[in-house]
Structure 1
Amino acid sequence: MTKQRHNLHLLVMATILAITALEISSAHAQNTYVDIHDFNTSTLVSPQYPGILAQGRDGNLYGTTPSGGTLGFGGVFKITPTGTYSVIYNFDGTAHGKTPRSGLTLGSDGNFYGTTWQGGTSNYGVVFQITSAGILTVLHNFSYSDGGNPYSPPIQGTDGNYYGVTEAGGTGSGTVYKITSSGTFTSLHSFSFAECATPVAPLIQGTDGNFYGMCESGGAAGGDGSVIKITSAGVVTVMYSFDFTHGSHPNGPLVQATDGNFYGTTNGGGSLDGGVVFKLTSAKVLTVLYNFNAKPGSVDGNVVDAGVIQATDGNFYGVTDGGGTNGFGIVYKITSAGVYSVLYNLVQAAGAVPETTMRQHTNGKLYGQANSGGANSVGALFSFDVGLKAFVSEFPTSGKVAKSVGILGSGFTGATSVTFNGTNATYSVLSDTYISATVPSGAGTGFVNVVTPGGTLKSNLKFRVTPTVLSFSPSSGPVGTQVTITGNSLTQASKVTFGGGKVAVFSVNSDTKITATVPAGAITGKIQVTTPGGTATSSTTFTVN
């Protein structure tokens, strides 16, 4: 063998060994469960659903438990991704509330928002704001007529306001409310039983701007629960009423996946009476993807209080309270086509009975909470590594040009570029885990990328750049008239309509200009332009002569 061929042989062998080592390392990193904290009575105990975990600007996770703490009324905790834990607030059981089951929502102001199930001036719970340093402000005291006993935290809408639901109050079946960060409260709707009753899961905001939620009971099919759509003005539409055959009594939140459909779980019902994982389209068509088996000893899990999350690999991940080989619940994965697999069986010593929906941290790992088990038998916090890469998460996930957007992640110190769908943005690195950026002119809907010294981090979701229609000329004309529409973020336009919803033939001249032809059948009305980021409507009407 010549020296040259010998060196080539060594290079090939070294490459094979490196690839093998990488594959072994990757396989070892997958499906790794780590108990990162064991609760104890003095520092909070037993997180319960919904118990939403929020990632803060500092990269830490924040949450609540409804009991334990120095006063026994629950509190708010902070934990680093590696398990350094602290209680930042203990509820007093009176003026500031008690029994916080909600978990937290990170607001655009960097504060967290949540609710307590009880306490406050009328003992029907409160809405609160809390800083990462533990300074808590009560924003609203529920009085039952405007809602009562909220389980879930409010979520922040694209308009900057916070929207939530209460389990009880109003006319008896619960309510929908809106509240500002300064505490201005508006009761939007009191549910009828036929619409919804006992909504315990938080709302989500869909890409259409409406809010969607799950109701544990009520609905039109005998009280097995429902999925609802709510406008920002409080108009409610029942998307689906559960009928036991397709599931019953959902407790976990919905998630709108990248395919535009909604995915969720129910606690009971289905063909095996153990709950289901389902898909629901915007056209109200529900498909059961998986049926859990209620029988004791079910190895695929049962008793499903948590929802599913869609991780950066496109798959959905969830937990069950019970079942599995040890009877303490499981971690599972399911695809949008319903291919299901058990990834891990929980053991009593490291956390059992996980009721709350997991969260994917921007480090790529999944984090969850167990209601019992652990070293002190009162619950645990855990990480679950399925081998996914680090990413960035933007909030909000949509907005117009010049909108300020927060970006969560890590390793930002020394970042050299932030782009929205390839368009450079102005930005400020405020910490190693938080960037503030401005939606740049010319950007279209697409992924956000941050170039750091450690590599390029891509967002888990596309940022939807909302189009605007500023003006059009001429302001009137017959069918066939050429109309110039001026606005912003028009490059990706897919449809232009005139009054009566008539679709026009158009051409995109630039990101700020479209030329459209008044279509046959059009009537006097407003012009709309639709892009992947949403639909923009003109403020004035075009008059068809």
Structure 2
Amino acid sequence: MSHACFKFGAAMLAVLCSAAAPAATLSVAHSFDAGQCNLPQGSLLRTADGSLYGTCFSGGANRAGILYRLAPDGAFSLLHEFSYVSATDASEPGPGPMLASDGRIWGSASGGGGENSSGALYSISTDGSGFQLNAVFSADATGVFPSPLLQTADGSFYGITNQGGGRGGRGTLFRYSAGAGLVKVITFRSPRDAVFPTAGLTLGADGLLYGTANSGISSDTAGNEGTLFRIRQDGSGYQRLLGFQRATHGAFPTGELLLAADGNFYGVTTQGGPLGGGTVYRYTPAGQFTLLHAFSGAASDGAWPNGGLAQGADGALYGVTLHGGTGGSADVGTVYRVALDGSFTQLHSFDTTSPAGYAPYDRLTPAPDGSLYGTTWHGPAGASGTVFRIQP
């Protein structure tokens, strides 16, 4: 049973009102060459020296994706080209590579260990040496298509898979450790709980794992439009905290939940809400749901937020939409800012001809100077996308 409650009043006023746009500067940090990268993934890793690490879902010499580094001066380095056929490599790397406690970069991929794989975990040194295929997934045993990874204090990695996990399986929660290897913790089976999770996990201040699933009914009479859940690290104590309802919460939550500095969780839904274009919401540890912004698809607003949220140096929430804005077509997109009181500002609207490209995807990465970095799937004139920097 959901113990969330929905607040109207001042929150709804914030939903329907937008702040006047401040001056925001967007620049191109890197433009990908044709063939070098296709579908650059977001959720870039920023390390202490100011370097950015990211992946491309496909491209490179083997057409199976790449891992790259952008130095603080903008210099591009190709660190690894993934392979579809090698038994010791992965393919189609996902977003969100992370710097683990061993000092190496860890990530997930849709394939690995040769052809017909269901996903993989890999690690590599920050200079591109020492690539290692750490685990390969199987549809029945561990699930299919792993999410970005979360590392806990004991060194274990956690994530979810979108599908599979045995008979009736519709996704799994998994753990990887050096001692035990890859282990399926639970299988998601029932729409009354959660099915088809699409994002990674977030570690709460209480030590529990929090996540969302793209499907899951909210009641016997409501639609199958998403779930927010929590679970202990050992797989016990699963709780469905919220069943999303299209009109009030939004539909189809996506991206990892953000545990912000105020101790609350923040997230997005790609569709639904009072205006139909998706939502930004807050969920407190006490179980209170608040709608912060509802997207309408208007030129000054956008629609279909994706990839979750980042908290900027100013404490506000930043994200991207895949649709909407002033660009004039559906898959163009925007960058936006939402203050914790719900006030909304569109910072940038992409178009199909600008050097920064269009169709931003996944979470932005904040830097200490207040700027944020992101990626676009497409560049101008059919180019392969960009890494961009926005200074609010």
**What amino acid does structure 2 have at the position aligned with 1:243?**
Q
Residue 294 (structure 2) aligns with: 291
CA contact (8 A) 2:320 2:333 kept: yes
What percentage of aligned pairs have identical amino acids?
34
Q: Shift in Å at residue 332 of structure 1?
A: 0.8
Give the drift of 1:359: 0.7
Ranges in structure 2 where 5+ consecutive residues have no aligned partner = 1-21
- Counterpart amino acid of residue 142 in structure 2: G
Matches within 5 A, 1:32-431: 32-48=25-41, 51-94=42-85, 95=87, 96-120=89-113, 122-134=116-128, 135-170=130-165, 171-181=168-178, 184-192=181-189, 193-221=191-219, 222-235=223-236, 236-245=238-247, 246-294=249-297, 298-327=299-328, 328-348=332-352, 349=354, 350-374=356-380, 376-386=382-392
Using structure 1 for the length normalisation, give the TM-score. Answer: 0.62
Tell me how far apart the structure 2 counterparts of residues 182 and 70 of structure 1 sit (CA, whole Å): 34
**In structure 2, what is the Cα distance between the partners aligned to 1:197 and 1:81?**
41
The offset of 1:151, in angstroms, is 4.6
SS in 2 for 1:264: strand
CA deviation map 1:258-288 (0-9, x unaligned): 2211111000011111100001111222111
CA distance change for structure 1 residues 227 and 111 in 2, over 3 Å: closer, same or farther? same
Instruction: Give how far 1:75 is off.
Output: 1.4
- Counterparts of 1:287 and 1:338 in 2: how far apart (Å)? 9
Q: How big is each residue's C-alpha offset from its partner over 1:449-477, in whole Å with a ceiling of 9 and x where there is no partner?
A: xxxxxxxxxxxxxxxxxxxxxxxxxxxxx
- The answer on whether the counterparts of 1:41 and 1:69 sit within 8 Å (CA) in structure 2 is no
Aligned-residue offset at 1:174? 0.6
- Larger Rg belongs to: 1
Q: Which residue of 1 aligns with 2:5?
A: none
- CA shift, 1:373, in A, is 2.1
User: Relative to structure 1, is the Cα distance of residues 93 and 183 closer, same or farther in structure 2, using a 3 angstrom cutoff?
Assistant: farther
Write the distance in 2 (CA, Å) between the matches of 1:82 and 1:325: 32
Structure 1 unmatched runs, 5+: 1-28, 387-545
Q: Residue 538 of structure 1 aligns with which residue?
A: none
Secondary structure of 2:271's partner?
Answer: coil
Partner residue, 1:16: none
| Matches of 2:104 and 2:302, distance apart in 1 | 36
Cα distance, 1:292 vs. partner? 0.6
Shift of 1:150: 2.5
Q: Which residue of 1 aligns with 2:10?
A: none
Cα distance per residue 1:322-348 (max 9 Å; x no partner): 211114211111111110011111233
242-251 or 372-381, which moves further after superposition? 372-381
Q: Say whether the 8 Å CA contact 2:123–2:133 is kept in structure 1.
A: yes
**1:302-359 deviation per Cα after TM superposition (whole angstroms, max 9, x unaligned):** 1211211111211111111121111421111111111001111123321211111101
RMSD, aligned α-carbons: 2.0
The alpha-carbon deviation at position 159 of structure 1 amounts to: 2.1
Name which structure has the greater RCO, CA cutoff 8 Å, separation 6+.
2
Question: How many residue pairs align between the two structures?
Answer: 354
SS at match of 2:287: coil
8 A contact 2:67–2:78 mirrored in 1: yes
1:156: how far off? 0.7
Distance in structure 2 (CA, Å) of the matches to 1:376 and 1:298 = 23
Q: TM-score, normalised by structure 2?
A: 0.85
1:94-135, Cα deviation, whole Å (9 max, x unpaired): 332211123311101111111111233551011111211223
Aligned partner of 1:407 in structure 2 is: none
